Amino acid sequence: MLSGSESNTDDQYVRFVNVKKSYDQQTLVVKDFNLNARKGEFVTLLGPSGSGKTTCLMMLAGFEDVTSGSILIDGQPVTNIAPYHRNIGMVFQHYALFPHMTIGENLAYPLKVRKIPADEVKRRVKESLALVELADFSKRYPGQLSGGQKQRVALARSLIFEPSIVLMDEPLGALDKNLREQMQFEIKRLHEDLGFTAIYVTHDQTEALTMSDRIAVFNDGIVEQCAAPETLYEQPANSFVANFIGENNCIPGTVTKVENGKAEIQLADGSMVTTSNPNCPPSGDPCMMTIRPENLFIANGQSLANSIDADFTTRLYVGDSIRYFFKMPCGSELMVKTLNDNQAPVLQHGARTQLTWDVTGGLALDRQA
């Protein structure tokens, strides 16, 4: 059991408190970033390009100043601690291995600058090559390795001095899909085995969902929501999060009534629908009705609580599933995802079709960019 004070710093091992950043003294590229990462937690910063993710990592690593606010590691403000003394490992998209050094020398480098004795360096290099399953690669040069192997070396090098925190900035961005998925498992395994606190940056939502304990969803310098993957998918705070995490159908509307935990929405085409979403905006406000494609059905004679009409446009065969695309008279495009079984209907192009979903199948959310 941890004592009260220990558990407190462990719960808030890495802290960003009201952090703002401007590079030009004018525009804030990070507007007010707050985060508490637990010791050993895997936290991902997810968001579009330019939303401020790398800037946050660089401030934590000590390569960029904080314009205002503070960053703490294990309860200590880091402002006056040099990057090298923060005990942080880093992995970047483009490996950053020294091309003129062998793999063994690349791995030894962070230990040598830390004045670790030679025999200890030798032992740790061997161990860490084994850890990333490259035991026989010590004498090779980076140019003789594949992209995936180079990234494993970069990973081993970031871990070799046993940092308590590891920052990873789109580390798998240069790899193709299969290799990327394999490396996701490797990183998760290393994280579980070694117990470091991971702050991971990606713009790939699937990667974020599969790897993270928690995800902070960035949008233009602010965090729209920070929560576990399940919460982001099932209870998104607003329509930006709902669209960024997973696929979604969006129909603009207005909230007309909120009562007994249910809300009535008038959609842009005039139809009235009901939702039981706790994050619904108040009555009178504009909203975005969002429905996951797996929660929207072609009525086929039976309808659920909510129905609308739309015209069939195309059908996409995806192997295990089929996607049907529709257009509402108000212009919104909709997608229905069904299993590829013998129930999957055949529709004529342009056919007016009733689509239906349950009260719990759709969310009325704040409209965001």
Q: What is the full DSSP assignment across 256-276? A: EEEETTEEEEEETTS-EEEE-
d(CA 337, CA 235): 20
Tokens at residue 99, please? 């091309």
Q: What is the full DSSP assignment across 3-15? A: -HHHHHHHHTSEE
Query: Among Mg ion, ligand ADP, none, what binds residue 29 when CB lies within 5 to 8 Å by partner kind?
Result: ligand ADP
In the window 285-324, what residues touch Mg ion (CB under 5 A)?
none
Question: Does 205 help bind ligand ADP (rule: CB under 6 A)?
Answer: no
d(CA 226, CA 232): 8
* Radius of gyration (C-alpha) of the chain in whole angstroms: 25
Shortest distance (Å) from residue 265 CB to Mg ion: 37
Q: Provide the 8-state DSSP code for 42.
A: E
Q: Which of 51, 54, 238, 243 binds Mg ion (CB under 5 A)?
A: 54
How many residues line the site for ligand ADP (CB under 6 A)? Answer: 10
In the window 19-38, what residues touch ligand ADP (CB under 6 A)?
23, 29
Query: Among ligand ADP, Mg ion, none, what binds residue 23 when CB lies within 5 to 8 Å by partner kind?
Result: ligand ADP
Long-range contacts formed by 128-134: CB under 8 A, 24+ apart: 128/156, 128/157, 128/159, 128/160, 129/103, 129/104, 129/156, 131/156, 131/159, 131/190, 132/156, 132/186, 132/190, 134/103
Question: Does 149 help bind Mg ion (rule: CB under 5 A)?
Answer: no
Between 65 and 234, CB nearer to ligand ADP: 65
Between 20 and 94, CB nearer to Mg ion: 94
Between 44 and 290, CB nearer to Mg ion: 44
Task: Please report, for residues 171, 181, 309, 367, the alpha-carbon distance to residue 288 in angstroms, rounded to integers and kept in the order given.
Answer: 34, 33, 18, 5
Shortest distance (Å) from residue 133 CB to ligand ADP: 30
Between 23 and 84, CB nearer to ligand ADP: 23
Shortest distance (Å) from residue 93 CB to ligand ADP: 11
Q: What angle do CA 163, 57, 115 make, to 5 degrees?
A: 30
Tokens at residue 108, please? 């030894």
In the window 43-72, what residues touch ligand ADP (CB under 6 A)?
47, 49-55
Single out the segment in contact with Mg ion by CB under 5 A; choices: 9-17, 48-56, 281-289, 361-369: 48-56
Between 53 and 180, CB nearer to ligand ADP: 53
Query: Among ligand ADP, Mg ion, none, what binds residue 270 when CB lies within 5 to 8 Å by partner kind?
Result: none
Task: Give phi and psi for 202, each to the nearest 5.
Answer: -155, 160
Residue with tokens 């960019």: 369
Query: Among ligand ADP, Mg ion, none, what binds residue 293 when CB lies within 5 to 8 Å by partner kind?
Result: none
Query: Among Mg ion, ligand ADP, none, what binds residue 51 when CB lies within 5 to 8 Å by partner kind?
Result: ligand ADP
